[in-house]
Structure 1
Amino acid sequence: MGKLGRLSETEIEVMQVIWGLAAPVTVARLLDIFSRKDWKTSTLSTILKRLIEKGFLTKSIRGKVNYYHPVLTLHDYKKQETQTFLSRLYNGKVKNLIASLVDDSQLSKDDIAELKEWFGREEGKK
């Protein structure tokens, strides 16, 4: 998988629905799901076209209907986004992120205890 483009909030919202469906999806199905947004077909088609251009979707055609397929799983997307975030802001190191959270009092003593316990369990698996 090559380098994927960055997703806007709206694109992430659409992709989360597509990932959740776990099957190829049509514009009509997505319009139904996003009915509260009152999107037009052209609006959703533009979003899907951008997702294809950014490498997140592929499109197949059956008859006159377009079906959109995710290129990667939500898990793989999260993994890639986490790596990008760590590389950009923390020199690629999780330790630097955690140190920043601890230094800024973002982690409580309970959080730290839970992390220690989790790291201990993970270390025992190896």
Structure 2
Amino acid sequence: MSEKFYLTPVEHELMEILWALGQGTVREVIACLPSDRHLAYTSVSTILRILQQKKILTVKKSGRHHVYIPILSKETFATHSLKKIVNLAFSGNSASLVAHLVEKHPLSLDELKVIRQLLEEKQKEFGS
């Protein structure tokens, strides 16, 4: 996996906020942190600048503020992260990943229904 797609836990936390907002200033990101999560303004600012240096975010100036905008989409991040997990934890076997999810994680009936529907749709794509 490219280093571009690697995020530390705190980078990921801030990216989740920016993906939800679409873009934001340091203060807007801090405002979206859980009330029990205390990150200093300077810490958030530094992390966002690091993400900018990694080319995960871009920045535009708006008056006196910097507005951070995701370049890396959540979908792209998820796709590359999942590929890494499948390769590392399941020897590249996606079926093993699905089996692990079904066997080791509690799934609701609604989740099982959605998974079944997705599999049926995928099967139709193959003409089976």
- What TM-score comes out, normalization by structure 1 length? 0.74
Of 81, 104, 107, 1:106 maps to 104
Q: Where in structure 2 are the equivalents of 1:23-34 lying within 5 Å?
A: 24-34=23-33
Q: What whole-Å deviation, never above 9, does each CA across 1:39-58 have from its counterpart, x for those lacking one?
A: 22111111112222333211
* Aligned residues with identical type, % of pairs: 21
Count of residues in Structure 1 that have an aligned counterpart in Structure 2: 120
Whether the aligned pair in 2 keeps the contact of 1:60 and 1:66 (CA below 8 Å) is yes
Cα 1:48–1:95 change in 2 (3 A) is same
Quick check: 28-37 or 58-67, which moved more?
A: 28-37
CA contact (8 A) 2:19 2:74 kept: yes
> Is the 2:5–2:81 Cα contact (8 Å) retained in structure 1?
no
Question: 1:92: Cα distance to partner?
Answer: 2.3
Question: By how many angstroms is 1:8 displaced?
Answer: 2.0
Conserved? CA contact 2:5–2:80, under 8 Å: no
Say whether the 8 Å CA contact 1:25–1:69 is kept in structure 2: yes
Q: After TM superposition, give the deviation of residue 74 of structure 1 in Å.
A: 1.2
TM-score by length of 2: 0.73
Write out the 4+ residue segments of structure 1 that deviate beyond 6 Å after TM superposition.
none
Secondary structure at the residue paired with 1:58? strand
**What RMSD in Å do the two structures reach over aligned CA positions?**
2.8
Amino acid at match of 1:50: I
Unaligned 5+ segments in structure 1 are none
